[in-house]
Structure 1
Amino acid sequence: MRTAVCYYSRHHGNTRKVLEAMAREGEIDLIDATVRQTVRLEDYDCVGFASGVYFGKFHTSVLHAARQYLPHGKPVFFVCTYGGGMGQSTRELKELAGERGCAVLGTFGCKGYDTFGPFKLVGGLAKGRPDEGDLDRARSFFRDILTRL
């Protein structure tokens, strides 16, 4: 099964670490949402969107990629890392998936080391995350998606 994930991962690379762990379970093409390129998601069996959570939302580059490239009827899933909490960060993506008739296969989220803004002053939040337990859960999440498709 061919899977593409449009993602944004900077600061500490938390989201990329999670996606690389998932990629050990099956073929995943990682597409950096900040790189200007033509993306043909209709060529994939399944599509994911992944980002750190910034002020309760996915990064704008990932939201833009989803609005621009998500084909109708394509199964989707979401992956996020966060310092504080996941909250309603996938709400916009779930609404878009619904509008396009895409089945949402699930969401994986875990803590990620966060030194953004004032958190830097106290040494950051969620030090050492994502850890091996998080990465094991990410692999399990992706294996479950593969068995359901």
Structure 2
Amino acid sequence: MKTAICYYSRHHGNTLNVLKAMAGEGDVDLIDVTTRQTVRLEKYDCIGFASGIYGFEFQKAVVEFARQYLPQGKPVFFVYTYGGAKGSGAKAVAKIAQEKNCRMLGEFSCKGYDTFGPFKLVGGIAKGHPDERDLENARSFYRNLSKTYDRGGQK
């Protein structure tokens, strides 16, 4: 399964660490939504969207990237890291996927070290995350995602 994961990861690189663990499990291209101008996602079997949670939501650049580049009918999944609360998680990007008739394969999330805003005053929250257990869960999620995709008769 050839997979693209379109992501935004800043601050401590929590989301990127999770994605690198997933990428080690298959044929995965990681696409930083802040560096690419034009992307052709049609050639991928499956597309993931990933972000830290910013203000209780996916980073807006990922949402706009999905709106612009997600092809109709592609299987999709979502990945996110969060410090305190999941917020609305992948809700905004999932809505775009639904509007484009995309099959949703799943969602993975885990804690990520967070020093944004007032958390900086106390040395941050979710220290040490994502940890090795989180990364193994991410790898397992992607392996299971591949099986789900294959069972769906997509390949």
With the shorter chain as reference, the TM-score category is: over 0.9
- What is the percentage of aligned positions where both structures have the same residue? 64
TM-score under structure 2 length normalisation: 0.94
Query: 2:13: which partner in 1?
Result: 13
Cα drift, residue 126 of structure 1: 0.3
Paired with 1:23 and 1:38, the residues of 2 have a C-alpha distance of 22
Tell me, yes or no, if structure 1 residue 104 matches structure 2 residue 108: no
Which amino acid in 1 is paired with 2:77?
F
Paired with 1:60 and 1:95, the residues of 2 have a C-alpha distance of 13
Which amino acid in 1 is paired with 2:104?
V
Local SS of the residue matching 2:38: coil
Paired with 1:113 and 1:143, the residues of 2 have a C-alpha distance of 25
Query: 1:24: which partner in 2?
Result: 24
Cα drift, residue 83 of structure 1: 0.2
Local SS of the residue matching 1:40: coil
Which amino acid in 1 is paired with 2:54?
Y
Cα drift, residue 60 of structure 1: 1.1
**RMSD value over aligned CA atoms?**
0.7
Paired with 1:24 and 1:35, the residues of 2 have a C-alpha distance of 22
Superimposed CA distance per residue, residues 65-96 of structure 1 (whole angstroms, 9 cap, x where no aligned partner): 00000000000000000001213121111111
Query: 2:94: which partner in 1?
Result: 94
Tell me, yes or no, if structure 1 residue 133 matches structure 2 residue 142: no
TM-score under structure 1 length normalisation: 0.98
Local SS of the residue matching 2:47: strand
Local SS of the residue matching 1:147: helix
Paired with 2:61 and 2:94, the residues of 1 have a C-alpha distance of 16
Query: 1:49: which partner in 2?
Result: 49
Paired with 2:44 and 2:87, the residues of 1 have a C-alpha distance of 29
Which amino acid in 2 is paired with 1:51?
S
Cα drift, residue 117 of structure 1: 0.7
Which amino acid in 1 is paired with 2:91?
R
Local SS of the residue matching 1:84: coil
